[in-house]
Amino acid sequence: MANSEENFFTKLFSSLFSSNDPEAKKKKKLKAIAKDLSKSRYHFYKNDEVLPTLPKLFYEIYKAVAPAQTMFNSVENPNTFKYMVVNYSLTDEQRQISEALSKESIESRAQATPIDQLNEEAKKELSKFLSSFDADRISSIEATYKKLMAFKSFCTFDFYFFLKKFDSTLREKDFNSIPRFDKINAEYITEDLKDFICVAGPVIDVNDWSDMMKLFKETRGQEPINPGVWNKIAAKLRAIFSAKTFEMMLRLMTKNPDFFVEYDSKDEPIVDAYLEKIRKETESTLSQLAQAQKSSKIDSLLNQIFGTTEVVRLRYYTDVASAAYEKRNLGKFLYAGPLNYYKAFLLDYIKKDLREFADLILIRGTWTSNSLSAPMSNAYNSLLESAELITKFDEKIAEEGEIGIKLKTHLPRAERDRDARSIINTIMKDLNEQAKNFCIEATKNLVTIAKTIKTVMEDYAKPKGEIILNWKELDKFADHPIKQLGVDVYKHIYLFVTLMQSCFSTKEA
């Protein structure tokens, strides 16, 4: 009776005190986990040691996925598989549009189609292509990619690093000899097992891999792994996870009965990125073609006007001088081309052929009204005045010039000094604005002059002048036939105005 009472009170006190002892509760839970694990059909762990049966399982998986691992590791561009999945999902019509929007196709079409027409056609095709991806199609594509990424993450798990801890003589991807795995202390592979659960978890959540295998078969010619073998691996892992074998092992390894590894395969919106790439490439190709066409047109106009495409009349506001700022991302002389062309036109035509014609009709001509000659006279004088203004503008940029000194002072400090960079940016902006205004004003004045020339040449063709009354007298003073001189001047002004329009449309593009 005494012993019975003693046992009763011992158990009573033990239960009372142990219930308030966290460490005791923890040990009790771990003991229960160890008991449940010992009953598992998967004998990977015992007494803080991992048994050879686990590396044997991993070795069989390693052999099976090794070719896929090599394939994945050989692909350097992370976008390769994104594009592969999206391209594979395209309908025949989508694929035809995609091919029509390729750089090669657009450039080929440009050989036979005017750029404006091609631009309109391509933009319609692009709009149709982008709108053909509805929510269901996007969801399906991204689900396939998610599955592929789960497969990739699993295959590229470092099985070799894991297995070498059980057999130090193991050689990477050498499956000719049979490895000899030893049991090891569990703490050596605790982190590896956590990582493995993170890559294996998303795999067991997928029940059907046939669509992914078909994708590889049709895009790369073969599956990365035998589908039957892969399905067996997935089923085996699913059974192990279902039995919570790895989970119980890690709880014992970490001495934490509540330990749990969270894993998740993140969704990635690959379709939007793919469509944005198509849009940007299409627009870029069209822009480059338009730019090339404009550049070709500019070269043609330069040859017609000056007989060369190398037209430089300024010393400092030039493309060559601009390079020092461009390479430091400090801006550039945006209108170096147009302003040099204008300066050349001033020297080669305005002060020669146009001056001869203007002196003849404005000075010697008898106009029926001064109001008719005033627009041309004002425009012509404005052009002549701009010649000196442009020269002064250019000289200010010289090293010892007003602006040149500032640029020379701040340029060496611009890379590390924000204020110096800001000063140069402001200077460049102001210079470009002045250069732009020179060209715009010149174009306006030349258009005014051209209109007047057209009007007076029509008047010259009449039996009796109605605007200029003394054409016969002017014929005597002219060094060249008036009609031919007028036509030549008008033609060159027309070409130059067209050149300016082309230059500025290129800048705006």
| pLDDT, tens digit (0-9, with 9 covering 90-100), for 195-240 | 999 999 999 999 999 999 999 999 999 999 999 999 999 999 999 9
Q: Cβ neighbours of residue 79 under 8 Å, at least 6 residues apart?
A: 273
Angle at Cα 239 formed by Cα 234 and Cα 240, nearest 5°?
Answer: 100
Q: Which domain holds residue 178?
A: 2-253
Question: If 0-12 CB within 10 Å is exposed, 13-18 middle and 19+ buried, where does residue 258 land?
Answer: exposed
Which pLDDT band holds residue 505 (cuts at 50, 70, 90)?
Answer: confident
Number of domain units in the chain: 2
Q: How far apart are CA 397 and CA 317, in angstroms?
A: 7
In a domain, 128, yes or no: yes
In a domain, 278, yes or no: no
DSSP letter (8 states) at residue 19: T
Q: How far apart are CA 34 and CA 40, in angstroms?
A: 10
User: Is the domain of 231 the same as that of 341?
Assistant: no
In a domain, 158, yes or no: yes
| CA torsion through residues 381, 382, 383, 389, sign | positive
- Domain-ending residue, one of 212, 230, 253: 253
User: Is the domain of 353 the same as that of 226?
Assistant: no
Which pLDDT band holds residue 373 (cuts at 50, 70, 90)?
Answer: very high
- Which tokens sit at 157? 């798990």
Residue 7's pLDDT is 61
In a domain, 300, yes or no: no
pLDDT above 70 (res 323): yes
User: Is the domain of 361 the same as that of 232?
Assistant: no
DSSP letter (8 states) at residue 328: T
Helices of type H across 346-481: 355-358, 370-395, 402-410, 418-460, 471-477
In a domain, 169, yes or no: yes
Residue 251's pLDDT is 96
Angle at Cα 286 formed by Cα 89 and Cα 109, nearest 5°?
Answer: 80
For residues 332-344, one letter each, b for 16 or more C-beta atoms within 10 angstroms of the residue's C-beta and e for the rest, the string is bbbbbbbbbbbbb
Among candidate residues 192, 258, 238, 255, the one with its CA nearest the CA of residue 42 = 238
Residue 10's pLDDT is 56
pLDDT above 80 (res 6): no
Residue 293's pLDDT is 87
User: Is the domain of 382 the same as that of 245?
Assistant: no
| Sheet architecture: strand order including 49-50 | 45-46, 49-50, 184-185
In a domain, 54, yes or no: yes
Exposure on the CB side of residue 437, measured as CA atoms within 13 A = 10
Among candidate residues 441, 468, 469, 442, the one with its CA nearest the CA of residue 455 = 468
Which pLDDT band holds residue 405 (cuts at 50, 70, 90)?
Answer: very high
Q: What average pLDDT does the segment 380-389 reach?
A: 96
User: What is the CB neighbour count within 10 angstroms for residue 282?
Assistant: 21
In a domain, 295, yes or no: no
User: Is the domain of 219 the same as that of 338?
Assistant: no
Using H for helix, E for strand and C for coil, what is the string for 206-240? Answer: CCCCHHHHHHHHHHHCCCCCCHHHHHHHHHHHHHH
- Which tokens sit at 467? 């605007």
Per the model's pLDDT, the better-predicted residue between 94 and 6 turns out to be: 94
In a domain, 173, yes or no: yes
- Domain-ending residue, one of 253, 269, 299: 253
Q: How far apart are CA 430 and CA 178, in angstroms?
A: 77
| CA torsion through residues 95, 97, 101, 106, sign | positive
Diameter over CA atoms, the chain: 154
User: Is the domain of 230 the same as that of 323?
Assistant: no
Distances from the Cα of 154 to the Cα of 58, 196, 198, angstroms: 12, 8, 9
User: Is the domain of 232 the same as that of 358?
Assistant: no
Mean pLDDT, the chain, as a whole number? 92
Contact 432, 455 (CB under 8 A): no
User: Is the domain of 121 the same as that of 248?
Assistant: yes
Q: What pTM did the predictor assign?
A: 0.67
pLDDT above 50 (res 509): no
Contact 197, 263 (CB under 8 A): yes
Q: Cβ neighbours of residue 274 under 8 Å, at least 6 residues apart?
A: 82, 83, 86
User: What is the CB neighbour count within 10 angstroms for residue 496?
Assistant: 24
pLDDT above 50 (res 192): yes
Q: What average pLDDT does the segment 353-380 reach?
A: 94
User: Is the domain of 156 the same as that of 244?
Assistant: yes
- Which tokens sit at 187? 């703490």
User: Is the domain of 468 the same as that of 323?
Assistant: yes
Residue 264's pLDDT is 78
Q: Average the pLDDT over each of 71-75, 249-253, 414-418 and give the range with the smallest value.
A: 414-418
User: Is the domain of 109 the same as that of 16?
Assistant: yes
Alpha-carbon 467 to chain mean position: 61
What are the two backbone dihedrals, phi and then psi, of residue 184, each rounded to the nearest 5 degrees?
-135, 165
* Percent of the chain whose predicted confidence (pLDDT) is above 90: 83
* Percent of the chain whose predicted confidence (pLDDT) is above 70: 95
- Domain-ending residue, one of 235, 253, 271: 253
User: What is the CB neighbour count within 10 angstroms for residue 28?
Assistant: 13
DSSP string, 41-88: S---EETTEE-THHHHHHHHHHHHHHHHHHHHHH---TTHHHHHHHHH
pLDDT above 80 (res 162): yes
